[in-house]
Amino acid sequence: MANPLYDRLIAPLDGRASDFLILADGRTLSGDAFHRLAARQAGALVAAGLVPGDRLAVQVEKSPEALALYAACVMSGVVFLPLNTGYKADELEYFVSDSQAGAVICGPGAEETLRAIAGSAKVLTLAADGSGSLSDAAAAQPDRFDVASRGDDDLAALLYTSGTTGRSKGAMLSQSNLLSNALTLVEEWRYTADDVLLHALPIFHTHGLFVASNVMLAAGGSMIFLSKFDVDTVLRFLPQSTSMMGVPTFYTRLLDDARFDREICKGMRLFTSGSAPLLAETHRAFEARTGHRILERYGMTETNMNTSNPYEGDRRAGTVGFPLPGVELKITDAETGATLPDGEAGIIEVRGPNVFQGYWQMPEKTKAELREDGFFITGDIGVIDPDGYVQIVGRAKDLIISGGYNIYPKEVELVLDDQPGVLESAVIGVPHPDFGEGVVGVLVAEPGATPDLDAIRASVGEKLAKFKQPKVLEVVTELPRNTMGKVQKNMLRDQFAEAFKTPA
């Protein structure tokens, strides 16, 4: 029976004696051991009552067992729904209920919270060390599994992304969406079974899961699988690696350490960066220090990767390169949808086998952003230069991307507006040296009130994931507005553009 993702990515692990995962503590997991682990987990999912097409919501710490859960979902035909480990109860309740998840897997410390909000969904646990009720259930299952039959258009994953109303939208990604992109990237970035990827990204996000992991599965290589990015650990493993996928924060922090030099990078062949804009000065400093030019690319939750700077050729700072093979990209007028000539800024639209199937249970949103001819309206503003390189120059939406995570201001504003002494608020993203963009909350006080900023920070910390919380709070007398009463966030971005600049 066919199952494209399993057949191409997971099946080659069966019987593979060589290392697939190398862990920070020196332990290794062969391809065969990983395959057997995933097979036992797949058996546990079926025993829990899940059938092909059901959604499995997963909020756990990064571990080999957590990655195996993705493979277990592929094997069993269950739709994988990874959730940021920073999400709080209110956020989780929405995701679980909206997706109609059949089961939820969480860390042991969150079990009580999840049981209270999971409704009829079964709740299992998985700790960072691999223990938990999921692993107990998997231990009782055989290490062989009768893989579910799935087609190219069957859903493989459901990933939630911010929407224009502040309500997250579930992007439906099919087997062919994920597989086509992985195979293209293996070819474009020259990955082989000899590659060792230094993997320090989270796996609840497209970048760490569907770009990094799928690419290495497709190539047959191995991964140094770190629980998080830590400079000391990364420097320890760089000499054993051939490539690294990161976000700008990784590279700025490495450049801050004098041990990071050409010698430690001599075995590396490729550094890539994405999920947030890479500053041109970081690009230049990295090349001067290491001799490597970072390869920057452009993707989205709804599409995985769309463009890439060339592996061979000029990797231009400030650009995201060219459309990937099989991906069509055009710049259009926001009002008319008409294609604009090269050199003019407009909305980026993309079409290709990587483009998602639509938003979960949101037909109107799908219709508004996914054209009948298959082009997806990204909401990003771009321009194609005379040499064909794509540049991202802004976003039509107010979406903030901080450290690779999408943050919709409205969600944060609703929490800030509810704070004592706050009349109204506006949330913006401004340049941040580590995160690409940092979140700034601009507050207007109620007449006669003085907002307690420390109390507001504490309250926000209880309601929102850490990456959504404003890093800076500013109080102003009024928000700038146009004649229609709309807040002019561009003026606020200009006013607070240097909120994260280090004083000279």
The tens digit of pLDDT for each residue in 373-411 reads 999 999 888 899 999 999 987 667 677 889 888 787 878
Six token digits for residue 165: 């109303």
Q: Quick one: pLDDT at residue 318?
A: 86
User: Domain 4-224 class?
Assistant: alpha beta
Mean pLDDT of 268-285: 88
Closest to 123 measured CA to CA, from 39, 48, 40: 48
d(CA 472, CA 487): 19
- pLDDT classification of 129: cutoffs 50, 70, 90: very high
Q: What's phi and psi for 380, nearest 5 deg?
A: -85, 145
**Mean pLDDT, residues 113-121 taken together:** 93
Q: What is the mean pLDDT of residues 317-344?
A: 94
Mean pLDDT of the chain: 93
Domain ranges in the chain with CATH number 3.40.50.12780: 4-224
Q: The sheet that has 28-30: what strands, in order across it?
A: 28-30, 19-23, 222-225, 196-199, 243-246, 270-273, 295-300, 304-308, 322-323
**Model confidence over 435-494: pLDDT tens digits?**
999 999 999 999 999 999 999 999 999 999 999 999 999 999 999 986 445 688 889 999
Q: What is the distance between the alpha carbons of residues 349 and 371, in angstroms, rounded to a whole number? A: 10
Residue 406 phi/psi, 5° resolution? -80, 135
pLDDT tens, position by position, 75-84: 999 999 999 9
Q: What is the DSSP string of 194-215?
A: T-EEEE-S-SSSHIIIIIIIHH
Q: Where are the beta strands (DSSP E) in 189-314?
A: 196-199, 222-225, 243-246, 270-273, 295-300, 304-308
pLDDT, mean of residues 422-444: 92
Question: What percent of the chain clears pLDDT 90, i.e. is strictly above it?
Answer: 83
Residue-wise pLDDT tens digits, 147-172 = 999 999 999 999 998 644 457 899 99
Question: What's the CATH fold of domain 400-495?
Answer: GMP Synthetase; Chain A, domain 3 (3.30.300)
Residues of the chain with CATH 3.30.300.30: 400-495
d(CA 233, CA 206): 23
pTM of the model: 0.84
